[in-house]
Structure formats: C-alpha cells, structure tokens
Chains A and B, each alone.
Chain A
Amino acid sequence: DQQVKQNSPSLSVQEGRISILNCDYTNSMFDYFLWYKKYPAEGPTFLISISSIKDKNEDGRFTVFLNKSAKHLSLHIVPSQPGDSAVYFCAASKVQGAQKLVFGQGTRLTINP
C-alpha cells in the first residue's frame, strides 16, 4: 500500500528552466509534507516543508505547492542548476513533529547544461 507516490521515476530539465516534481498521497490524515534531496552515497537532505494549513511555501529557488482536495503536492525549482541533479523524495507525516515519515519512491532529476 503506497500511501505516498511519485509517479515519475526520472525527469530531465535544461539548466535555467523550471523543474517540477510531483507527488500524490492517499491518506487524508497526512497534514505535514516535506521534500528531501539525496545524492549518491549520502543521506537525504531536507529541502522544504509545508503544513496542510497552507497551499504554498517558498524558500529561495524552491517552492512547494499543496492541493489538499487533489491530495497532490509539487516542488518547483527555478531556475534549475546542474547541482540540483539528485534524487528527490516527497515525504508525509500525520502530525507535525512526528518523526514517522512516509516516503515516496523518489524522482531522479537530471539538469542538462
């Protein structure tokens, strides 16, 4: 039972353009969502999060959008840079502060020069 789904295993984007990574969830009890970035041979690194009371959160080049009615969130990276090439994981939890995160399968983002 995959409660958090990232349906695109990979995404390729030209440097300078916008990268949009998508994530869907099925459990309506989730109310806190996070994005992590992972390079090979390293642990995931926290990028940005959003609470269910918001529909948008922005941090520099990264913006996360949440559509609760569609149970969908997306991560926008603009402009995309070569260093953004990594695997991106979407994660959800039922309570903010709870460490029991449910992760998606990840999307491998490749930024082409």
Chain B
Amino acid sequence: KAGVTQTPRYLIKTRGQQVTLSCSPISGHRSVSWYQQTPGQGLQFLFEYFSETQRNKGNFPGRFSGRQFSNSRSEMNVSTLELGDSALYLCASSPDSMNTEAFFGQGTRLTVV
C-alpha cells in the first residue's frame, strides 16, 4: 500500500509569489491534515479536510488555504509568499474521523527568497 505522497519535494519561490503544494493520501483515507514545521515554531497545525470539507483550522493568516477533491487528494496554497513562510510542509492522512494516529508524508521543503 502506497504511503502519503507529497509533491513537489523541494520548491524555491520568490517573495510575493504564490505556491500550490499537493498531497495524495493513503488509498482509502478520507482525512487529510496539513502542518508547517519551522525551526522556531516546531510543527504547527494548518488545517484538516474530511470529505472535501474543511473541518479544523489552525491559527494561520488567510494567505494559507487548502482544498480537498472527491478522491481525497488535497492541495494547499500560499499566496503573497513571505520569507517567514520558508518551512517544511507536511501532509498527514487518516482513515476516518475516529483515528488520531495520522500517517505523514515526507513533506515539501519550501524556500522563499
């Protein structure tokens, strides 16, 4: 069974640009969550989607958005990039609403210059 797949693995963008990251959950998993990992703030929850609906949201500005498609694949978008958005973005999937033990992908390393 394939794990959580995130693309791309590495990305370099310029301040002010926007970026879209993709996550394909484990087959059959319906919940997808996104986290940002930085050296200063650690792992922070961005948002969670379940059955194409945003179910939970963290404390990030509106520049961070996401969506989930009918096949459970998810994308997150960051607009008007800032230097501080440089981070490892991790996606996690879970079978349903009763499981907290999420399975993480390898992440997308975003560098904003």
Contact = CB atoms under 8 A, between A and B. Distances in A.
Interface string A81-113: 000000001010100111111111110000000
A32 B31 CA distance: 18
Contacts of A42: 106
B33 A99 contact: yes
A97 B99 CA distance: 4
Contacts, number: 64
A106 B102 CA distance: 17
B100 interface: yes
Q: Size class of A's contact patch?
A: 20 to 34
B45 A100 contact: yes
Interface of B: 4, 31, 33, 35, 42-45, 48, 50, 55-56, 58, 90, 92, 94, 97-107
9 contacts: A43-B4, A43-B105, A43-B107, A46-B102, A99-B31, A99-B94, A101-B33, A101-B45, A103-B44
